[in-house]
Amino acid sequence: MIRKHSITLHGHRTSLSLEDEFWAELNAIATARAIPLAGLISEIDDIRDADSNLSSALRLYVLAWLKSTAATPPEGRDGDREAADAGAR
């Protein structure tokens, strides 16, 4: 199910619509990286293309993160940010 989430980015409120599964994965990624969820979303917002929307950028980031961790041995899955960041661009 798609849900609307309200968050504060760089001092202003915004909302995004995201499927529950993507929201859960974003929370898991934030936990794996030991950063707040708002911080992760803010990072993704900062690196996304200006002509893409935030919800799409979040989905692409999750996809890139999952693909990068699937290709990495379990002991190396503690935060391969560069691969995930590249997927969000």
Residue pointed to by tokens 């699937």: 70
Residue range 23-71, pLDDT digits in tens: 999 999 999 999 999 999 999 999 999 899 999 999 999 999 999 988 7
Angle formed by the axes of helices 20-33 and 54-70, nearest 10°: 60
Report the C-alpha gap between 89 and 77 in whole angstroms.
21
Q: What is the pLDDT confidence band of residue 74, given thresholds at 50, 70 and 90?
A: low
In sequence order, what are the beta bridge partners of 16? 5
Average pLDDT over residues 77-84: 52
Which pLDDT score, from 0 to 100, does residue 75 have?
60
Of 81, 89, 87, 69, nearest to 39 by C-alpha is 81
Q: Token pair of 51, please?
A: 């002509």
